[in-house]
Amino acid sequence: MSIVAIITGYSSGLGYSISEELLKRGWTIVGVARQRKPENLQKAYPGKVYHIAGSVFDDDTANNAFAEATKHGGARLVVNCAGEGCFGDVGSYSASDVMKAIEGNLAGLIVFSDRAISHMQDGGGNIVNIMSTAAKKHRISESVYTAVKWGAKAYTRTIRDAVKSKKLDIRVFEVYPCGMKTPFWSSATRPVSDGLAFPETEPIARAIVEAVLANESSYQQELTFERS
């Protein structure tokens, strides 16, 4: 039986690349996305990729994902990668823009992290929360996105303290990617002037997977990627 990971936002961009890295290493993937289903991954790795359709901010989606993982031996890794951009000048946001930004980037990350802690209480495991360098800066053209990513950072650091205080064998990783070449930017309202200089997701995914799989008595809690 192979080791199982739940990857949210696995159908595109960084989540897709992280899934591919794990599949190459023999893992089984339970992938979550609302619409897109990466048929090519399922074809390339038959019997290793299980698709769960739905928003990460939904108990049914989380129940289905963790139940599917349990069928294959239980998840030892949960990567919260689902999220979308939210762009605009201050003074231009509607309530639905704000909710949309919160849904995947923050609320869904909380639902899946909390469920992961209960799922991993006995067997242990790893939670990887993908934030953004926006969680370390104040980006005035992305005020809402910046706020939700800072929220995700505060939540991630708090659960690390919580699992440590409960002496659970769960490691919690914070990941802060720089701008990457993905469909994320398709909704950008501001010009992505340096878009061509954005890196591909594959090397970033590889570095994340290597950090998680490093079997050592200490671990790299925080991974930040800046453009070189």
DSSP string, 152-211: HHHHHHHHHHHHHHTT-SEEEEEEE----SSGGGGG-SS--TTGGGPPPSHHHHHHHHHH
User: Which amino acid, 63?
Assistant: N
Least CB distance from residue 205 to ligand NAP, whole Å? 10
Residue (8 or 28) nearer to ligand NAP, CB: 8
Q: Which residues contact 6 (CB under 8 A, 6 or more apart)?
A: 29, 30, 31, 32, 65, 66, 69, 75, 77, 78, 79, 112, 116
Please tell me whether residue 15 binds ligand NAP under the rule CB under 6 A.
yes
Measured over the CA atoms of residue 6, residue 173, residue 15 and residue 142, the dihedral's sign is positive
Residue (15 or 125) nearer to ligand NAP, CB: 15
Residue nearest to ligand NAP (CB): 13
The span from the CA of 152 to the CA of 158, in Å, is 10
By CB under 6 A, the residues from 51 to 90 that bind ligand NAP are 55-57, 81-84
By CB under 6 A, the residues from 177 to 206 that bind ligand NAP are 177, 179-180, 182-184
Least CB distance from residue 220 to ligand NAP, whole Å? 18
Please tell me whether residue 11 binds ligand NAP under the rule CB under 6 A.
yes
Least CB distance from residue 124 to ligand NAP, whole Å? 25
By CB under 6 A, the residues from 126 to 155 that bind ligand NAP are 130, 132
The span from the CA of 85 to the CA of 78, in Å, is 21
**Which residues in this chain contact ligand NAP in the complex, by CB under 6 A?**
8-15, 32-36, 55-57, 81-84, 103-105, 108, 130, 132, 177, 179-180, 182-184
